[in-house]
Chain A
Amino acid sequence: MTRVVLPYHLRSLAKVDGEVLVSGETIGAVLAGLEAAHPVLRGTLRDAAGTRRPFVRFFACQEDLSHTAYDEPLPAAVLEGREPFLVVGAMAGG
């Protein structure tokens, strides 16, 4: 299972605390798993066409995975559960 850390706004929306465990070995699979487990998140991370929302970023193992293809495997440390997959609201504003 992949450990996913959501930003505050999405944790409150999905009514979850802490990390969320989702099956999936790629970003696309993790996003699909998140949306399946928490339908309220559909549209908050990516639009209906699947495109990542502009102010949503993905990180893991101190790497920016925001522009990684959805079907690329996640880093081994994430797949082995040693590191979480981070969904981050981009820093913007004051």
Chain B
Amino acid sequence: MAGVRVLVGTRKGAFVLTSDEARRDWKVDGPHFGGWEMYHLKGSPVDPDRIWATQSTGWFGQLIQRSDDGGQSWAPVGKDFAYASVPGTHQWYDGTPHPWEFARVWHLEPSLTDRDVVYAGVEDAALFKTTDGGETWGELKGLREHGSGPHWQPGAGGMCLHTIILDPTDDQRIFTAISAAGAFRTDDGGASWLPINKGLLSGEIPQQEAEVGHCVHNLAMHPSRPDTLFMQKHWDVLRTDDAGANWYDIGEGLPSDFGFPIDVHAHEPDTVYVVPILSDSQHFPPDGRLRVYRNRDGAWEPLTKGLPQANCYVNVLRDAMAVDRLDDCGVYFGTTGGQVYCSPDSGDTWDAIVRDLPAVLSVEVQTLA
């Protein structure tokens, strides 16, 4: 029976939500790893029963968990994320040099073709890869060793590599994003990297058009158009049609172009979703109204049916939005207030799957045959 499995990472554990394709009745399973911060969970596109989870606390450090039965049981795998060379320094909040230090894994991106290969984005920013099912992790050090590294600086959440996008048509091409350095692309499997930030304007940094230093919050790509990416920057929503060589602003019409997540409709490569947030000082929706905005045919429209339209002051974090690939595309997002919302009709109507989880850090969806 077709259905979906929603993987939710929260501040205090992980949850697995399952439903049939109607996406009206849900089974809630969890918490897994209760009390631990679960920054991200993601399933393998090759083997959907293989799910990866990053587990951490500031007290006891980093672990990686793997499930081979769809999230029913888990086993720890390798957790040694050692930088491949002396990391040197990046810029601290006050502009002084600060040593590169591993803090946690933010994002796990399983390979599109090999169940044993996974990429991990970490704080302080670097990209790691396992080719043996998670037993060992090696750094793709060309990114961290990009000459601009000493000028990278942490965003409010830390200097994290939070977005990894694999090109489905070219296994040598990977896109990443780092707060606050910007977006980068490799065309040689991670050996060398190119900053792809032309067109970004950031008023928060001394040189608005700098090659690096931009606080990119999230990127999204439709698999049928790997040269087109969408970006939610700290401020601004942008698009590129040449794999990041040039970006242009598409945020006009939004009540605020500040926000965190961005995603693309499963079957409409030009349809994009964002959740406008009032500002970087006030991390909640404008006017206390939780609205997803959909850009279809070039214009933004608010999607509000089923979402709170008064007294709502939650945030939606960068990895907390996803879409399924059922015929009628489902859109999902989680909030810092612990709600996980689902729209089974491309955003036209919404309902809460759960309302009282711990603060949601990430949402991913698996579409099951």
Contacts and interface: CB of A to CB of B under 8 A. Distances in A.
A8 B60 CA distance: 11
Contacts of A45: 60
B340 to A, nearest CB: 23
Contacts of A28: none
A92 interface: yes
Nearest to B79: A43
The dominant DSSP class at the B interface is: loop
B63 A9 contact: no
Contacts of A90: 59
Interface of B: 33-36, 57-63, 76, 79-80, 82
Contacts of A89: 59-60
Contact of A44 (B34, B35, B60, B82): B60
A13 B36 CA distance: 10
Contact of B36 (A9, A40, A53, A92): A9
Interface residues of A, number: 18
A10 B60 contact: yes
A9 B59 contact: yes
Nearest to A57: B59
A53 B63 contact: no
B59 A12 contact: no
A40 B76 contact: yes
B53 to A, nearest CB: 13
Interface in A43-89: 43-45, 47-48, 53, 55-56, 89
A73 to B, nearest CB: 26
Interface of A: 7-10, 12-13, 40, 43-45, 47-48, 53, 55-56, 89-90, 92
Interface centre among A9, A89, A92 (most CB of B within 10 A): A9
B313 to A, nearest CB: 19
A56 B60 contact: yes
Contacts of B79: 43
A75 B62 CA distance: 31
A70 B61 CA distance: 21
A53 B80 contact: no
A12 B59 CA distance: 14
B308 to A, nearest CB: 26
